[in-house]
Structure 1
């Protein structure tokens, strides 16, 4: 039996960051593609778990397909930078939000559960405006 004095274990547990569920997963890739996570540059590969604030970057021959936890699907084309800026999917607590940004390139989105339950909580941001998602499938193209 282990006994901890002075609440050291509790303090250590409270200081540890909470584990956050991945926001989605990469399903397929082709050509040059990577995921920027903070200071890290990861090779985009099928099965890679995506986190909030990740950016998907593709080269001139790259493409990435990904699925978010609410079954939103995103297809990212060549020469694209897509940010997964905000994602919250806790429908039982009425906490749902999806904000993605396209800095350049092309992206096709098929909306998932968040857009079906609360379409006003889904948006795609570009350098010239914000798209409110009300439909099921659309394409965004941002010129450099």
Structure 2
């Protein structure tokens, strides 16, 4: 009798810690959660807007919008962290992560503003699929800590702080950043140029824009 009670308790605990958790409505799997908020940040989900709070569960299709004084930190299920600057609109388009099979498909979209991403377990996979679409080009990773945004002159800037590499591609070409402290500036309807060292001041400005 006692053995059956203990077995039931163990099964209950295992269910509670299932690696694919579900949101409150049980219809969408949890892909991440909010870990830190500064200022005013909103969540656009299923046609509705709500104020974000720490620990809010995130789902596919969620769009996070920061106000002029707002910043926010997201933690994905693979332990990747995404930090959003003020005046930023960022969407979780698709998120798949299977640690057993070693596969992933993480697709995000930066509409405006800037972000920093520090990849977690996805970045350690042999073929990581982690991309951020922007109006100018798509940014992808090899496993890294990188930054992207439109805060300097309206063009898309991308920099790598550390890691294996970042690629930037659009319909006209592709380039890679393979050294820390290097970056590129991509203009609309122009192929991404070769990466070059960024001045320390620009690197600091990029890093400060998403600091929480």
With normalisation by structure 1, the TM-score equals 0.81
User: Does structure 1 residue 41 correspond to structure 2 residue 53?
Assistant: no
Deviation at 1:92, TM superposition (A): 2.1
Q: Per residue, is there more strand in 1 or in 2?
A: 1
RMSD of aligned alpha carbons: 1.9
Deviation readout 1:5-47 (Å, 9 max, x if unpaired): xxxxxxxxxxxx9743210000111111011111111211101
Alpha-carbon offset, residue 60 of structure 1: 0.4
- Asked if the contact 2:102–2:125 (Cα under 8 Å) also holds between the matched residues in 1, the reply is no
Please name the residue that 1:85 is paired with. Answer: 93
**Can you give the 5+ residue segments of structure 1 that lack an aligned partner in the other structure?**
1-16
Following superposition, which runs of at least 4 residues in structure 1 exceed 6 angstroms of deviation?
none
Match of 2:79 among 54, 71, 77: 71
1:121 maps to 2:117: no
Greater relative contact order (CA < 8 Å, ≥ 6 in sequence): 1
In the other structure, the counterpart of 1:138 is 146
In structure 2, how many angstroms separate the alpha carbons of the residues matched to 1:118 and 1:58?
33
**In the superposition, relative to structure 1, how do residues 55 and 40 fare at CA in structure 2: closer, same or farther (>3 Å)?**
same
1:94 Cα deviation (Å)?
4.5
Change in 2 beyond 3 A, CA 1:18/1:28: closer
Query: What is the total number of aligned residue pairs between the two structures?
Result: 128
Question: TM-score with structure 2 length normalisation?
Answer: 0.56
Q: Does residue 34 of structure 2 align to residue 26 of structure 1? A: yes
Q: Matched residues in 1 for 2:82 and 2:60: separation?
A: 15
Q: CA deviation digits over 1:39-61, x for unaligned, max 9?
A: 11121110100001101000100
Would you say the 8 A contact 1:120–1:132 is kept in 2? no
1:111 to 116, 119, 122: 119
How far residue 132 of structure 1 moved from its aligned partner, in angstroms, is 1.4
SS in 1 for 2:30: coil
